[in-house]
A = this chain, B = another copy of it.
Amino acid sequence: MEPYRLSATKALHLIQKNELTVEAYARSLLARIESREPTVQAWAYLYPEAVLEQARRLDKVPTEQRGPLHGIAIGVKDVIYTKDMPTEHNSPLYKDSHVPVDAASIAILRAAGALILGKTQTTEFASTTIGPKTINPHSLPPLPVRTPGGSSSGSGAAVADYHVPFALGTQTGGSIIRPGSFNGIYGFKPTWGAVSREGQKVYSLTLDTLGWYARSVEDLRMLAGVLGIKDDDVPRKLKGLKGAKFGLVKGPVWRLAGPGTINALEKAKALLQAHGATVHDVELPEEFSNMPDWHAKIMASDGRTTFLPEYLIDKTRLQTFLANQVENVNGWTHKQELAAFDGVASLRPVIDSIVDGFDALITPSVVDEAPLGNGSTGSAAFNGMWTALHTPVVNIPGFKGENGMPVGVSLVAARYKDEHLLEVAEVVGGVFEKEGGWKSAL
């Protein structure tokens, strides 16, 4: 098998046994990227010579000094500082901007020996739905072009298209889970606060969460360990789904669900049951119907504070959507913002206690399969609630929409049950990938 096709777990194994050099691994990934990138356009910055130099340096590290991610390649969303690469935020205000410092996440990954491959495409400041040029790798010309989702557009596409086994994303609305679903891969948004976001562009301190993509749960878990994710209790190993208990949450925006998601959720329920799990319909308490409005208010009021510097420096080069937040065109008051902020806070312990009655909740990841075109990255309607509630979420691929594009579903656990959630996701993912009806053709 070509090294670029390997899972991170497998590549690490081969590198550790000296059966694969980091340089050979990097060359394979770069060749894959070279052949695919002209169409997919997942990368904002990639400088192959520097990658190979980094790889050769890693190959020279004595075995006993190698970290737990030695040589494993990672794509980094271009809103996260990397000391050896520019960070442009897909903003004309930051064209060619190079801040030579590592974000907290990158410092951790580098200390673990990761090969920081390059920067992936993002929507402007990870905060709009205006797509970058990236195209969904599952629908390349001559098929009609579709969005890879956003804002972590390039990270989702790059992992799905075998450019890298890992990529970092960020989520304020649905920017990790949506590209996970649209690209048919696993996307993990850990508990808010579990991983430092220092050095990643701020949109909303209350909502922004760092997360990552992989093509297997085993790989997601490898990165979780390195980044310091740790439950209070060692999670119970699941042998299978027999006796497992899921809560099915359609949530306050279920009316928006398209046929792809309606079908995915039905099929998911049937598969879980067929494998011996019970699935209970969960009606959330009435207050949860405020969540879409509260999420929007928190985002807008935080945006008002966050983008003031860019607005003052040159508002003509800031997306209208963001300039409008600074100008507070909605006329929302601080009183309304606080009601949203406090309202969401009051529901966090409520959702935790609801989730704790189940192995996990199952809920939509997206409205439907990836829409046509790459001008808009689609809707985050189903994700904002979980982002604001700070719960960990995994997108599980496996289902397909009316046009054969991937559709995922989300598994949700209580806060700081991240390792537990990954355990459940591994078993559920095995079933959905095998029997859900969608398989990657890449």
Contact = CB atoms under 8 A, between A and B. Distances in A.
B198 A306 contact: yes
Contact of A415 (B100, B195, B306, B338): B338
B196 A313 contact: no
A282 interface: no
Given A232-B333, A345-B342, A352-B338, A196 B306 contact: yes
B232 A205 contact: no
Contact of A205 (B100, B205, B313, B352): B205
A239 interface: no
Interface residues of A, number: 45
Instruction: Give how many copies assemble into the complex.
Output: 2
A164 to B, nearest CB: 22
Interface stretch (A104-112, A149-157, A241-249): A104-112
A342 B334 contact: no
Nearest to A415: B338
A107 B305 contact: no
Given A202-B196, A416-B334, A104 B346 contact: no
A348 interface: yes
A140 interface: no
Given A205-B205, A334-B231, A196 B309 contact: yes
A335 interface: yes
Nearest to A192: B205
A202 B193 CA distance: 12
A111 B308 CA distance: 11
A391 to B, nearest CB: 11
A75 to B, nearest CB: 19
Q: Point out which of A100, A108, A198 has the most chain B C-beta atoms below 10 A from its C-beta.
A: A198
B232 A313 contact: no
Interface string A129-141: 0000000000000
Contact of A101 (B99, B193, B194, B197): B99
Nearest to A205: B205
Contacts of A232: 333-335
Contacts of A97: 101
Interface in A288-331: 301-302, 305-306, 308-310, 312-313
Interface in A254-308: 301-302, 305-306, 308
A437 interface: no
Q: What are the 4 A-B residue pairs with the smallest beta carbon separation, nearest first?
A: A334-B416, A345-B345, A107-B309, A111-B312
29 contacts: A97-B101, A99-B100, A99-B101, A104-B306, A107-B310, A107-B313, A108-B308, A111-B312, A111-B313, A112-B312, A193-B302, A193-B305, A194-B305, A196-B202, A196-B308, A197-B205, A198-B201, A205-B205, A232-B335, A334-B415, A334-B416, A335-B416, A338-B349, A338-B352, A338-B415, A338-B416, A342-B348, A345-B345, A345-B348
